[in-house]
């Protein structure tokens, strides 16, 4: 069940909200937990048992570690066992096929395996449980003794399938004490509608352009067309992912929770270093706190710092997907970050802001080619099209995609910056008593546009395909 589905918007969400606000305070967590388990089971009826087992295992592990905190040796053994089990489960479901395919291609063997569907959200809830276990071991948080509250932390549906990765330390108090209010609910609704509009109105439509371009043969793809296809994906993944993150923040507010933001206009960045401070903030923070700093960070000399960066970005690439192109994608960013720190920082400081921005966005777009390509070979082929082209520098197809989608391109570019939001906020807060009416009108129209799109897409999926 997706946040942008008719079933979620008009069945699941109204029911869970009504039940949540009708029951007394002590029953709110059980209601939200039950709703979260139903939400997960809707899409993964079998893997709900895997999630429940993960909840029970990590709950017991947390208690065991807390019990042995005065004996660091025993606590460390329990921690290592827990981390190993969590990573083995994640590795089995996510990387079994990748590892065996790699072995079969290198060695003269043919190890058979059965390809399993990846449990939805397993990367997110595994990292969340690991953050809890590690922080209990470090003494940063108190162990959670209420099983239902811990289960809610792991399975909470607003951030379960697409993040953000919520650390237990950021939410432990809210699991027991939080304040619901109409003001917070209203803010949450605005966040949710804004995220829904990002996903439905921009991500879905730019995704159509990307699909069209990647369906063309190499001989029919010019340099212009290839770059437009890459630009379409660049916007699609941002508005899709940040849209879901906004919806998650909004849903959290509706239930009284406050999650940290996951995106901060990454496409306005003027360096790759800045880009990764703004993109998928919760993942970058997780790897920094639980991998990079424990390895020594940048305090152990240049050689070890280089090693630490490459290890983190190798793992970051693998976290996103089980194939060699994701490994290359991760190492690509690791090398760029090292280059900016040790070689390019003085050059970048002297460049005008506009050129720094062009430098950043071009490298990010090249990175997305490795990300969206099904194989490493197809990524190389697409990059060749971008820098050579199968049908020259430009063709009718490229001009058609550019001109007929000008409004969409403009909306995507402007929407990737804080300009429109800041201007709107100044206008609304300058409206005085009319602020609520203005917000209701504008966001009501946005919501209706999204619903119209979703209904049309459901019953006539080709209506918006203008190619």
Contact (CB, 8 A) for 205 and 459: no
From CA 430, how far away is CA 445, in angstroms rounded? Answer: 21
Cα within 13 Å of Cα(22), Cβ side: 7
Tokens matching residue 250: 């909004």
Give yes or no for a contact between 263 and 278, defined as CB atoms under 8 angstroms apart: yes
Q: What is the rounded CA–CA span in Å between residue 84 and residue 74?
A: 15
Alpha-carbon span 32 to 174, nearest angstrom: 13
C-alpha–C-alpha distance, residues 62 and 441, integer Å: 48
Spatial neighbors of 6 by CB under 8 A, at least 6 apart, are: 451, 454, 455, 458
Cis peptide before 360, with omega less than 30 degrees from 0?
A: no
Distance separating alpha carbons of residues 34 and 167, to the nearest angstrom: 21
Q: How far apart are CA 266 and CA 287, in angstroms?
A: 18
Q: From the candidates 280, 320, 357, 421, which is the catalytic residue?
A: 320
Q: Give residue for tokens 């063709």.
A: 395
DSSP class per residue in 49-64: HHHHHHHHHHHHHHHH
Tell me, yes or no, if 357 is annotated catalytic.
no
Instruction: Please identify which residue in the block is written with the tokens 């990002």.
Output: 198
Check if the beta carbon of residue 212 is closer than 8 Å to that of residue 400: no
Beta strands in 94-198 (DSSP E): none
165 vs 161: CA distance, rounded Å:
10
HSE-up of 401 (CA within 13 Å, CB side)?
A: 27
Q: Taking the CA of residue 115 as centre, how many other CA atoms within 13 Å lie in the half-sphere pointing to its CB? A: 4
Return the active site residues.
320
């Amino acid at each position: 069940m997706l946040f942008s589905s008719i079933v979620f918007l008009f069945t699941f969400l109204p029911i869970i909200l009504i039940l949540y606000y009708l029951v007394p305070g002590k029953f709110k967590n059980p209601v939200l937990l039950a709703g979260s388990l139903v939400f997960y089971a809707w899409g993964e009826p079998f893997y709900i048992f895997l999630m429940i087992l993960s909840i029970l295992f990590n709950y017991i592990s947390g208690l065991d570690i807390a019990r042995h905190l005065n004996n660091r040796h025993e606590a460390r053994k329990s921690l290592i066992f827990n981390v190993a089990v969590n990573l083995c489960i994640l590795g089995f479901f996510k990387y079994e096929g990748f590892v065996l395919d790699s072995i079969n291609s290198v060695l003269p063997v043919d190890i058979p395996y059965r390809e399993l569907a990846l449990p939805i959200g397993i990367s997110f809830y595994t990292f969340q449980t690991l953050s809890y276990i590690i922080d209990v071991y470090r003494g940063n948080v108190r162990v959670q003794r209420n099983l239902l509250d811990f289960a809610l932390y792991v399975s909470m549906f607003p951030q379960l399938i697409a993040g953000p990765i919520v650390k237990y330390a950021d939410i432990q108090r809210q699991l027991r004490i939080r304040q619901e209010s109409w003001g917070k609910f209203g803010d949450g609704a605005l966040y949710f509608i804004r995220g829904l509009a990002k996903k439905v109105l921009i991500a879905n439509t730019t995704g159509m352009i990307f699909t069209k371009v990647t369906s063309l043969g190499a001989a029919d793809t010019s340099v212009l067309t290839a770059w437009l296809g890459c630009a379409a994906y660049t916007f699609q993944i941002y508005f899709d992912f940040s849209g879901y993150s906004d919806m998650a923040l909004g849903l959290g507010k509706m239930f009284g929770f406050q999650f940290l933001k996951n995106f901060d206009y990454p496409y306005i960045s003027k360096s790759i270093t800045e880009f990764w401070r703004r993109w998928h903030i919760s993942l970058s923070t997780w790897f920094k706190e639980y991998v990079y700093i424990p390895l020594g960070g940048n305090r152990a000399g240049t050689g070890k710092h280089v090693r630490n960066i490459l290890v983190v970005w190798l793992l970051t690439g693998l976290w996103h997907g089980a194939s060699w192109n994701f490994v290359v994608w991760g190492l690509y960013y690791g090398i760029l970050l090292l280059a900016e720190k040790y070689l390019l920082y003085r050059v970048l400081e002297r460049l005008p802001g506009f050129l720094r921005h062009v430098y950043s966005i071009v490298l990010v777009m090249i990175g997305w080619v490795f990300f969206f390509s099904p194989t490493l070979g197809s990524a190389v082929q697409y990059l060749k099209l971008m820098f050579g082209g199968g049908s020259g520098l430009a063709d009718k197809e490229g001009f058609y995609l550019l001109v007929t989608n000008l409004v969409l391109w403009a909306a995507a570019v402007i929407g990737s910056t804080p300009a429109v939001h800041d201007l709107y906020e100044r206008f609304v807060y300058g409206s005085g008593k009319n602020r609520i009416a203005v917000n209701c009108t504008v966001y009501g129209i946005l919501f209706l546009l999204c619903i119209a799109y979703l209904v049309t897409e459901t019953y006539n999926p080709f209506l918006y395909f203008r190619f």
